[in-house]
Structure 1
Amino acid sequence: MNDSSRFDRLTRRHRDCLRGVRDLKGSKEIAEDLGIEKSTVDSYLTEAVKLIGARNRRDAALQWARHEAENAQLSASQTTIIPVEAAPDKIGGHSARLSEPAAVSPLPVSPDELIVGAPGVPEEPPSRQRSSGIRLPFRRKGQRDNDLSVGDRLIWIQAITLGIAIAFGMLMTGLQVLTGLIETVAQRLS
């Protein structure tokens, strides 16, 4: 197997995880950056080590970085600009097909997450998807934040306060009954 074919089998996530290792990040930090679980990062890195044929994740990251640098140098040396006159079949001069793809990759988002700066009508804020069922006052797996409005948060604060007050009252009543029971048993035994 030639040198570049083993790198061609890496997916975008394999490559992102290897870049994280190259930058001396741990699995937890890489997972936070990519918006995925730590165990998923570990499995991507294990797969990448096997695909590349490296000794460990650090060796795989260094091999990937070297390969990436070689390809960047190679593509930079092969890039040539063709004047419009030299390409008469390109109608309209600067075609969109002649421009290089954007180097910015999309940010990972979770299903219920608000996408800031998403394309759409500028007058309207992007709508946030709501999950069905009761909305809880803590974030769910795969989200960066919870999706409660200010009113929902105030209702939850009152509900939690009321729940604590009821629990405290039940505890006091239970202790009072237990104390009375102990006094009754002590009087009968004496």
Structure 2
Amino acid sequence: MTPRARECLRLVWNKRATSKEIAAELGISKATVDGYIADAVVELGARDRRDAAAMLFGGTRAESGDDPARVVAPTPVEAPPASSTEQPPAARPWRSRGRPLNTLSLAQTIGWIAVIAIGSLAGLALAMAIGSGLPPVAMPVIEAIRRLT
């Protein structure tokens, strides 16, 4: 389970927060929060978001009462620390699951700008070479093939 999904379930568990409240607190969209929670519910085999939060943080469902979806716990429990086997997310400029936008350092941002600029120049040079016919380097090779045939 991703750290972000754990964070969403922790807020469901500790604050009984709605998806809209979780989205506002984490700075992501409501649909993204719903996606994290849905993935966690499936992964844990839970009935719903509160059941998943209870399974993850050690509570039990209420057996009686007027709200059957109510999660009962003596005290709020913090999320367990992430395992040391989890890899940190790769430094990419696009959004990926579990990682919001704008988390690159200044050096990483400048590096990506350089990669994009160099790639754009290489693509432009290739397009110009193709547009103007074969490059002069290929002409001797073509002449050699003509002589062999």
The reply to whether TM is greater than 0.5 is: no
Superposition TM-score tier, normalisation by shorter sequence? 0.3 to 0.5
The TM-score, its normalising length taken from structure 2, stands at 0.39
The TM-score, its normalising length taken from structure 1, stands at 0.33
Q: Which has the higher contact order (CA 8 A, sep 6+)?
A: 2
